[in-house]
Amino acid sequence: MDHNGSFSAGTADKSSDDGEALAGVTVIVCSSCRDETGSDAHPRAGSLLAEDTRRAASSEGVRIRTVECLGNCKRRLSAALLRDGCWSYVFGDLNTTSGADLVAGAKLFATSTDGLIPWRGRPDSLKRGLVARIPPLDMLKD
């Protein structure tokens, strides 16, 4: 752990519920993201987004974790949605109050039968902010 209480090489696990996470969906929030001014002020905007996401997920059973950097700095505040055996999603251009959108996306993802986050019903910030969709390893072909 570094001097700011973040894990630089891994993740900090802070589940929003002690029970099983909602259908195995995990929201990962980049805690080191800066705001649009690029300020080094603490807490960082990414940490504020993580806290907002935890508040939004507090009664939903969605697992929220943080990571030191998602490497998406040009798109500012970033987060990812993961689900075992499914595509993973990376989003950018979020703001410190996008937590409810991330939880809404996680709920859509959890109820998806094809392992994709449906476009219909997806919050606008997750439509506009899509950076990448990454296939599960078992889907890759040589």
Q: Is 142 within a domain? A: no
Q: What domain count does the chain have?
A: 1
Task: Give the model confidence (pLDDT) of 87-105 as tens digits.
Answer: 999 999 999 999 999 999 9
- Prediction pTM value: 0.83
Could you give the strand order of the β-sheet that contains 79-83, starting from the edge strand earlier in sequence?
11-15, 63-67, 25-30, 79-83, 88-91, 130-134
> Is 47 exposed, middle or buried, given 0-12, 13-18 or 19+ CB atoms closer than 10 A?
buried
Task: Give the model confidence (pLDDT) of 116-128 as tens digits.
Answer: 999 999 999 999 9
- Pairing of β 79-83 and β 88-91: antiparallel
Percent with pLDDT over 90 in the chain: 63
Averaged pLDDT, 109-134? 93
Domain of 45, CATH number, reads 3.40.30.10
Q: Is 120 within a domain? A: yes
Domain span at residue 40 reads 11-135
Instruction: Tell me the β-bridge partners of 14.
Output: 64
Contact 99/49 with Cβ under 8 angstroms?
yes
Confidence of residue 23 (pLDDT cuts 50, 70, 90): low
Name 109's Cβ contacts closer than 8 Å, sequence gap at least 6.
Answer: 23, 25, 81, 83, 86, 89, 117
